[in-house]
Amino acid sequence: MKEVDTSSNLNSRIKLFADWLNNGGVKTIWSNHLLEDLIKVKFRADGTVDESTVSSVVRASLLAYEGTQWTPPHSSIELMTEYQTTLQKALFFEQIMIDTKEDFDSIYEQHKNSESTLYRGVTEAKWRIYSSLQRYWINEKLYENGTDYKTFIEKTISNAKKQNGGILEKFFKKNGISPRE
């Protein structure tokens, strides 16, 4: 089990870059020199990179790609964006990578009796956390109606307060929450 590595070492950069290459990034490389140099990169028996085989062109590419992951994904009211890598997601979440059954078993043993841990189950680590209202806004393209998201939320809350004899407003008051906020 290993924590997501956000350090600046060559092996973590190679792993990050290889993941991008394997997921279609290689199709976007136009430099034959870079492609030739990538082919020359060799690995030791323990899986670490042989630094002497990594050219300055490859190193520059690794740094450039890593730099793209130090900013959050594009945010838009028109589409649901995803994290491109676990490095990018690490900017927002404390996370531990589980790569083997042993990693999972170890984490499970550490936390199986914990009462203060929240697990959010999603099938893809790349998915950002959207509320159902945000997903509805984006999927139904409500932004095309000329109303901004804040106004949409305000109207939704106002309508909810009026439903069922004002039960939501009564709930707020009973729990010491100002229904006007």
What pLDDT sits at residue 8?
41
- Whether 54 shows a pLDDT value over 50: the answer reads yes
The span from the CA of 10 to the CA of 59, in Å, is 8
Q: Among 5-9, 11-15, 141-145, which is the least confidently predicted range?
A: 5-9
Greater model confidence, 28 or 114: 28
- Whether 92 shows a pLDDT value over 90: the answer reads no
What pLDDT sits at residue 178?
78
pTM: 0.56
Domain boundaries, the chain: 1-73+86-128, 132-174
What rounded mean pLDDT belongs to the chain? 83
- Whether 6 shows a pLDDT value over 50: the answer reads no
Burial class (CB in 10 A: 0-12, 13-18, 19+), 177: exposed
Angle at 110 between CA 109 and CA 113, to 5 degrees: 80
Identity (one letter) of the amino acid at 88? Q
Task: Please compute the mean of the pLDDT values over residues 115-120 and round it to a whole number.
Answer: 71
Q: Which two tokens stand for residue 69?
A: 């992951």
What pLDDT sits at residue 112?
85
